[in-house]
């Protein structure tokens, strides 16, 4: 891992790219914050749902509030282990958050009437909104990583399982409508496809990051 960092820090283009995409990710999170608050202010009413209307809500507060931060921590550790892949990962997440921010400003439904109350204190509480429903970030983000790491069988299945798990959690707690969860897979697939079309070179670099850097410095 030390060698990977040495090569990463020696590549000015890669460092510059990582910084640019880190700033873009920060900007996307700011967008998400204001979009979430806007959706909360403009909410209208709840609607019926073929799944939620026929099931009771379960208490999945901890899984909902803590699950995604744990997922983020795992991803961060992965980035620390393979620093050369950081720019592409930051770019993908930033684009995902920006596009989702646009979507949640367009749809202002209130959560299902019997949705559970989730943890609402501290930093996690400030990032929890009630009307930012379409589409489910808890489902879409893990699926995005499954697509990013598709060539890594272990990572692919881990992230697919995480996407399905989080999708079930938000449905069990009636925290998202079923369309929010189902649409997340299709929209996320499109987001990843857009990333690959726009930044083909970045995708190739991501898949062979360490070997390409090593070749440049030998």
pLDDT tens-digit series, residues 142-181: 999 999 988 888 889 999 999 999 999 999 999 899 999 9
Of 133, 131, 124, 136, the closest CA to residue 96 belongs to 136
Residue 218: its pLDDT value, please?
A: 43
Rounded CA gap, 191 and 84, in Å?
A: 22
Of 60, 33, 81, the closest CA to residue 173 belongs to 60
Per-residue pLDDT of the chain (218 residues; tens, 9 = 90+): 555 555 555 556 666 767 777 888 888 989 988 888 888 888 788 888 999 999 998 888 778 777 777 888 888 887 777 777 777 888 889 999 999 999 999 888 888 888 876 655 444 555 566 778 888 988 999 999 999 988 888 889 999 999 999 999 999 999 899 999 999 999 999 999 888 787 666 666 666 654 444 444 44
Taking the domains of the chain in order of start, what are their residue ranges? Answer: 2-208
Count of all residues that appear for the chain in the document: 218
From residue 137, alpha-carbon distances to 35, 102, 109, 170 in Å are 13, 13, 16, 10
144 three-state secondary structure = helix
φ, ψ (nearest 5 deg) of residue 215 = -65, -35
- The phi-psi region of residue 122 (left if phi > 0; otherwise alpha if psi is between -120 and 50; otherwise beta) is left
Whether the CB-CB separation of 175 and 118 falls below 8 Å is answered with yes
What is the value of pTM for the model shown?
A: 0.82
């Amino acid at each position: 891992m030390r060698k990977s960092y040495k090569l990463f820090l020696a590549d000015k283009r890669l460092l510059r790219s990582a910084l640019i995409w880190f700033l873009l990710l920060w900007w996307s999170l700011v967008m998400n914050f204001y979009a979430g608050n806007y959706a909360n202010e403009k909410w209208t009413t709840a609607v019926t749902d073929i799944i939620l209307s026929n099931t009771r809500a379960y208490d999945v507060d901890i899984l909902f509030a803590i699950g995604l931060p744990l997922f983020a921590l795992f991803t961060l550790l992965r980035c620390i282990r393979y620093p050369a892949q950081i720019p592409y990962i930051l770019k993908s997440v930033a684009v995902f958050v920006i596009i989702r921010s646009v979507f949640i400003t367009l749809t202002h439904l209130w959560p299902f009437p019997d949705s559970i109350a989730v943890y609402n204190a501290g930093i996690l509480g400030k990032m929890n909104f009630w009307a930012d429903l379409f589409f489910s970030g808890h489902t879409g983000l893990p699926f995005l990583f499954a697509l990013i790491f598709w060539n890594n069988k272990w990572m692919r299945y881990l992230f697919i399982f995480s996407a399905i798990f989080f999708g079930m959690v938000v449905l069990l707690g009636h925290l998202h409508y079923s369309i929010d969860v189902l649409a997340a897979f299709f929209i996320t697939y499109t987001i990843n496809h857009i990333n690959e079309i726009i930044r083909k070179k970045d995708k190739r670099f991501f898949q062979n990051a360490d070997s390409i850097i090593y070749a440049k410095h030998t």
